[in-house]
Chains A and B, each alone.
Chain A
Amino acid sequence: MLTSNPFAELAVFLPPIAMQVYIILMIVAVVIGTVWDMLHKSSGQYFTQRQEKAKAAATTELSGADKASLAIRTIAVDVATAGEFCNVQRRISHVLMFYGFIFYLVMTIVMVFSYPTNATPTPAMIPLLWNIGVIMLLIGGYWFFLFLRVNVAKDGQAVFRLVPADLFIVTLLGSASFAFIWEIVQTTGNLAATKIVFGLYILFTTLLFGSVRWSKLAHMFFKPVVAFQRRVEEASGASSLPAPAPSSERS
């Protein structure tokens, strides 16, 4: 199961073009949602203003090479290893979800577009990575949802009391969980059950990508931009924070 392409089996009741169109629609939905969110909140204006203020407050001029190196650090630390999380458990769960999501997404696109039916046999590696991605996402995601969400862990909220901020994680877990369940159910050969579970998978996936305007999904794009801006501010002296103290002030 782990090494066979579940999307190829869909051909039994769904033409491959449907899935391909669906994916394109989801990509468009994310783009529209993000742009709509930015326009609605004027966040583009905010980030531009922020950058200008930082430039005005800068005490050191940064060269192109300086900025490039900061950008690389941002990608390598903040993005690649979720470096912005100070809490170790949250950092690990986020890394699991992040890479899990990437594998899950990318391999879905590869399978749906390059290996849409059994006529084009799928190399075992691809569905394997897809499954690894789903499992990573599920482990990181349920760990986060049940134990690590700060409103539950620190603010005394009941686990199953959902708040608007849960839109992203719930639809994400819904998408991944039903993807996994669909894959399993599909191998039993029960067509009715497969259709139902596949339907739920599509429902949650649509909610996930369609709700970008209201969910935290767009933070995937904003956070790295801001992380980079903050590194620039710190390096150029524009930060309003005091400089770190010299090593020895002990009296």
Chain B
Amino acid sequence: MPTFVYMTSCDGCGECVDICPSDIMHIDPHHRRAYNIEPHFCWECYSCVKACPQNAIDVRGYSEFAPLGHSVRVLREEEKFTISWKIKFRDGREKNFVSPIRTTPWGSIKSASDYEAPSQEALNSQELAHEPDGLNIDELPALSRDQLKLGVV
């Protein structure tokens, strides 16, 4: 489902250019607005659609197998921690969905360096950061060498 950009809504801010994982959203030299330069490398991941502050990007299903007349549009509202979808079938049926996207404030993740520095003993062990507590069990499991054997099982 490659993306396309609405001429009348795009104000050429470049957010889509910044975010596209495929590097296919670029600026058209005639209108100085965004467009999809390689639909055949578009995964329809909707990253650009979600990132566009003007909701100026939409998706038209891949021409080889998606008949016209459908619409799958999204509103990602970071400040509400939600994502809302409106699906319109070719025959006009509609479905709407809303989901949460995050349970903590944006930017609130505790930095790895804010934890107490690990000891040399911890560095020498097999435990990763915050383990074994982070596993919610008492001890990191391990195998013993003799449990691994050659042969067919």
Contact = CB atoms under 8 A, between A and B. Distances in A.
Complex contact flag A–B (Cβ < 8 Å): yes
Contacts of B47: none
B43 interface: no
Interface stretch (B12-20, B125-133, B142-150): B12-20
A230 B26 contact: no
A163 interface: yes
A40 interface: no
Interface string A136-169: 0000000000000111011101000001110000
A151 B18 CA distance: 11
Interface stretch (A8-16, A63-71, A181-189, A236-244): A236-244
B86 A251 contact: no
Nearest to B16: A154
A226 B32 CA distance: 18
Q: Which has the most chain B C-beta neighbours within 10 Å: A84, A157, A246, A249?
A: A249
B93 to A, nearest CB: 14
Given A86-B11, A163-B29, A250-B100, A242 B54 contact: no
Contacts, number: 97
Contacts of B88: 240
Contacts of B17: 150, 154-155
A231 interface: no
B26 A249 contact: no
Name the prevailing secondary structure of the A interface residues: loop
A250 B102 CA distance: 7
A244 B29 contact: no
Contact of B14 (A150, A226, A250): A150
Contacts of B84: 242-245
A244 B75 contact: yes
A155 B98 contact: no
B80 interface: yes
Interface in B1-34: 8-9, 11-14, 17-18, 26-32
Interface of A: 84-87, 90, 149-151, 153-155, 157, 163-165, 216, 222-223, 226, 230, 240-251
Interface of B: 8-9, 11-14, 17-18, 26-32, 53-55, 58, 71, 73-75, 77, 80-86, 88, 96, 98-100, 103
Given A86-B13, A153-B14, A245-B82, 9 more contacts: A85-B11, A86-B11, A86-B54, A165-B32, A240-B86, A242-B74, A242-B98, A251-B100, A251-B103
